[in-house]
Amino acid sequence: MKEILRDIGAIARALDSISNIEFKELDLTKGQYLYVIRICENPGIIQEKVAELLKVDRTTASRAIQKLVIKGFVDKRFDAHNKKNKHLFPTEKSLALYPLLKREGDYSNERALDGFSDEEIDCIHHLLERVRHNIEIDWDYVKKGQQRHY
């Protein structure tokens, strides 16, 4: 059987490692850049959805965002009509940072796809979307405490 998961894991760890090193000087510690980018691109989003986008635990997102609020990267606003949801907004500080974060991500993407034709880029893009969708199903299932049978 053709194995793709190990490559995906290694690629993801390598890229995360690179970004963490590069963003250290921006006062963003491990993983925080992920949240800043998502909140900049989805102002008003709630924590639960951020965790779902990133596929991290709800508690991890909770604490990461707490830190970002303290550091002044994120604003947490309460909904007038809903006492439970807390909407997240980027501050001026993150908005100013966003272009740099985006450029780094784009650069990594270009580097990752170095030597790929337009057709190949299209192809891997679509295939990965399908993998993501497939895996989301199992993630939701296992995260809810269900057992997979293998």
Partner DNA sequence: CGTTTTTTGTTGCAAATACAACAAAAATTT
Partner DNA sequence: AAATTTTTGTTGTATTTGCAACAAAAAACG
Which positions touch its own copies (CB under 8 A)? 1-5, 7-18, 21-22, 34, 53-57, 103-116, 120-125, 127-132, 134-139, 142-143, 148, 150
Q: What's the length of the chain?
A: 150
Rounded Cα gap, residues 87 and 127, in angstroms: 33
Q: Which of 9, 10, 141 is nearest to 150 (CA)?
A: 141
To 10 degrees, what angle do helices 58-70 and 47-54 make?
120
Residue 93 binding partner per list DNA, its own copies, none, with a CB distance cut-off of 5 to 8 Å that depends on partner kind? none
Q: From the CB of 72, what's the least distance to DNA, in Å?
A: 14
Q: Which stretch binds DNA (CB under 7 A): 36-44, 62-70, 92-100, 106-114?
A: 62-70
- Among 39, 64, 97, 101, interactor with DNA by CB under 7 A: 64
- Choosing from 21, 113, 127, 131, the residue that interacts with DNA (CB under 7 A) is 21
Q: Are 111 and 128 within 8 A, CB to CB?
A: no
